[in-house]
Amino acid sequence: MVKPQLTLVENTGGWRGPTNERTVPRTGETKTHRRAESVPRESQLDLFSGPTAPELRVFIVAMETVHGRTLHGAVASHRPRSVIDLRYAARFDQYGSDRDTLFSHFRSVGAYYALDSMPWHDLSPRDFMKGDGGLVPRVHDELLVLAPGAVMLFVQKPQHAGMLASYLNRMLSEKAKTSWLIEQIC
């Protein structure tokens, strides 16, 4: 009697049963956690124009929970001009990816990678609610001074992504002269 052989296959999302948070999305899709979009206050919307793409797009990636395939798909589809790593320790050990593969994706889309560590262990949500714009100076310059486009920010945990998204939303609401979009990628 021959025993059946068990084979592991890639989950393509075709099974329609109950899902949990660990289900891997299909390749090409980017699972976003939260999305915020706005236009500058001084501009008036045109009644006859259709929806336009925002000029500034910010993608915040929680590296602790993102799968490598999701991250690679996000880099390929959004084509960021800059990737700023705000983690205290820049490690690339998520499932489905490694440092060499990720950096080859950065090179293929022409993205600039910069490490700008923040002491997340010393910060609290109250620090992100302050009125000054000096909490993340590199990000401030990248979003408000340089040309519009896509920017990807790496943080360690989803909690950090939420705090940073609310901070950026408030900062861009006050100072941005272009339309913008903030998305969290988990």
CB contact at 8 A, 28 and 71: no
Beta strands in 27-185 (DSSP E): 32-38, 56-62, 82-85, 112-115, 150-155, 180-185
- Pick from 186, 149, 148: nearest CA to 71: 186
What's the pLDDT score for residue 30?
A: 52
Residue-wise pLDDT for 48-70, tens only, equals 555 667 788 999 999 999 999 99
User: For the chain, which ranges sit under pLDDT 70?
Assistant: 1-4, 6-52, 121-122, 129-135
What's the pLDDT score for residue 109?
A: 93
Q: If phi over 0 gives left and psi between -120 and 50 gives alpha, with beta otherwise, what is residue 87?
A: beta
The domain made up of 32-43+51-185 is a member of CATH 3.90.190: yes
- Pick from 60, 56, 77: nearest CA to 149: 56
Query: Where do the structural domains in the chain lie, given as residue ranges?
Result: 32-43+51-185
As given in the structure block, the two tokens for residue 176 are 């941005």
What's the pLDDT score for residue 9?
A: 65
What's the pLDDT score for residue 31?
A: 55
What's the pLDDT score for residue 108?
A: 93
What's the pLDDT score for residue 78?
A: 93
